[in-house]
Amino acid sequence: MSFFAVIDIAEMLKYLLLGIIQGITEVLPISSSGHVELAKLLLHLQVDEGVLFLILVNSGSLVVFLVYFAQDLFRLIRSFFLFILRPQTRNEHRENFHFCLKIVVASIPAALVGLLLSDWFDEMLLRYGGLLSGIGLMFTATVLLTSGFRGFSRRNDIISYRDALFIGLCQGIAPVPGVSRSGMTMIGSLHRGVKLESSLRFAFMLYIPASAGAMLLYVKKMFSEGTGLPSSEYLLYYAVAFLAALLFTALAFRWIRPIFRNGRLKYFGYYCMAAGLVSIALFLMK
């Protein structure tokens, strides 16, 4: 029997769909975890999201940001070590060094939540996925709607340590199913009076250590559970999901600026409110 003879087109489309959902919802302020749960309920998907699958689709989104911010990352890492190792160059590298420290400060809340509560979140998702995701989506909707109807005060290019901590606390809520990480960090940054471009840069560079940390937890889980490789056809499905996540993350990232610049947050708020209500209703009817 040939390799292509064992491919299940319906199964492949299922993983393609989940990759598209991951890519779009990781960037737009509508929650990737909430939409995965909603897709399962709407389409009756019995998706066993193996640890390897989670690593692959998350790495698809991560690759996009690593490529997009490659020059920034190289410059920041170089400045960080030169500031420490060559004291005579500290004035030149001071701003980038402190930017790196602000990323670390902002990453701490989400890291603590991930380390302390990741197993609890996994268990609750298995038992009450649709319900929790629906509540989380409605919370996201409330934040988007209240933010969309008010102006943001001052506009600074520089992010202070207090700003970084506030943005980090906003990201710390994001592990709750249905709560949008990108939405919380972007709105947190804008509420602190940071300009849009600086907010985008900080929020999505902050995604890099958050995503890398989550992947490390997945890898640790994979080794602790002794998870083996899936069959060859499922490796193909996973590859399809990875490529879909990569492509649609890149597309969504192109859309995010005009969404925030033109004040269209309220439309995403209405959408998240409707999606949350649907998720809760489907869970209760299940």
DSSP string, the chain: --TGGG--HHHHHHHHHHHHHHHHHHHSTT-HHHHHHHHHHHHT------HHHHHHHHHHHHHHHHHHTHHHHHHHHHHHHHHHH-GGGHHHHHHHHHHHHHHHHHHHHHHHHHHHHHHHHHHHHHHHHHHHHHHHHHHHHHHHHHHHTS-----BSSPPHHHHHHHHHHHHTTTSTT--HHHHHHHHHHHTTB-HHHHHHHHHHHHHHHHHHHHHHHHHHHHHTT-----HHHHHHHHHHHHHHHHHHHHHHHHHHHHHHTT-HHHHHHHHHHHHHHHHHHHHH-
pLDDT band at 154 (very low <50, low <70, confident <90, very high): low
Contacts of 149 (CB under 8 A, 6+ apart): 266
Handedness of CA 198, 108, 165, 23 (dihedral sign): positive
pLDDT for residue 244: 93
Please state the pTM of the whole predicted model: 0.85
pLDDT band at 6 (very low <50, low <70, confident <90, very high): low
- 228 alpha-carbon distance from chain centroid: 26
Domain carrying residue 100: 4-285
pLDDT at 2 over 60: no
Residues 98-112, mean pLDDT to the nearest whole number: 93
pLDDT for residue 212: 86
Handedness of CA 191, 197, 201, 207 (dihedral sign): positive
pLDDT at 142 over 80: yes
pLDDT for residue 161: 95
**What is the total count of domains within the chain?**
1
pLDDT for residue 33: 81
The packing angle between helices 90-148 and 32-43, to 10°, is: 40
pLDDT at 20 over 80: yes
| 147: nearest Cα among 260, 16, 277 | 260
